Structure formats: C-alpha cells, structure tokens
Amino acid sequence: MLKPGNKIPDFETFDQKGRKFKTEDYKGKYLVIYFYPKDMTSGCTKEAIEFSRYLSRLEDIGVEVFGISTDSTRSHMRFAEKYNIKVRLLSDEGGEISKKFGVLKEGGKTAMRVTFFVGPDGKILHVWDKVRPVGHAEEVYKKVREILKGK
C-alpha cells in the first residue's frame, strides 16, 4: 500500500457521468481519494453520503474529493442517482488503479476501504487505512484542515 511521501500513480478513467478523469489534470491541487469496496452496500453508501455532505466544506479549503471502486461507470451512475451522491465516483473496472495504490483485496475483485490525502505535488500527505464508514468524512475533513494549517 502506498504511504505518506509516495507519489500517486498516474491513471485515467471515467466518472459516473462518463466524464474522463486524468491525474495530470489535477496536478497542483489537493485531493482526497477514497477507495471503497462496492456501490449500493450499507457501509459504502453511508461513507459516500457523508463525503457528499462534507464535499462543499472540503472544496472551500481547496480540496477535491474522488471515490474509487471496481464498479462500472454505469453502476456508479445508478448509485449516485439513487443516493444523491455529489462526489465524483471513478470507475476502476479490472482493479488496475486499486492495484497501483496497493489497495486491491486478495482475489482482485474489490478495493479495500482506504483514503489518501494527496498534496499538489502528487505526494501522499496522509493515509487512513483503518476506515470505519460512519464518521470517516468528518475525520478526514478535520485532519485535512489540521495539515493545511501547518502549511
């Protein structure tokens, strides 16, 4: 698994609206990238809803938020519509992105629940690897604010 100080890998994929995502388009920005196992499951739904609630607060302090799972773009679209998810959900069908981050579960079908806070230089500033879905978005928000105050 990638650790603080590691640079995130470059990747391209699509979000729930079919829009292309490329890491190179986000160089110079702070990012929260959270990996989760599966759309429409209880814990993942709670986590996505909470990140949606915190999205504007994170954006107000200059941080963009992305959720990634091995589900398809179409699955992400249905998930976002059903639960009014505002976060961009990135598809990792095949698990290649999860594998690059070191968060692909054994068996290779789903990602572990891990969150990365990435600096403008593409280096990881903080990792949450023991994530409990409820309360996680608030925990991330507080830690990100603390890190940014020190910069």
Q: Would you kindly state where each structural domain of the chain is located, as residue ranges?
A: 34-149
Q: What is the pLDDT of residues 84-95, one digit of tens each?
A: 999 999 999 999
Q: What is the pLDDT of residue 140?
A: 98
Q: What is the mean pLDDT of the chain?
A: 96
Give catalytic residue positions. Answer: 44
Q: What is the pLDDT of residues 36-50, one digit of tens each?
A: 999 999 999 999 999
Which of these, 83, 53, 81, 47, lies nearest to 67 by C-alpha position?
47
Query: Mean pLDDT, to the nearest integer, of 75-89?
Result: 98
Q: How far apart are CA 66 and CA 53, in angstroms?
A: 13
Please provide the CATH number assigned to the domain covering 34-149. Answer: 3.40.30.10
Q: What is the pLDDT of residue 126?
A: 98
pTM metric for this prediction = 0.97
Which of these, 25, 27, 22, 21, lies nearest to 7 by C-alpha position?
27
- For residues 151 and 107, the model is more confident at 107
Q: What is the pLDDT of residue 74?
A: 97
Q: What is the pLDDT of residues 136-148, one digit of tens each?
A: 999 999 999 999 9
Query: Mean pLDDT, to the nearest integer, of 1-12?
Result: 97
pLDDT at residue 108 greater than cutoff 90: no
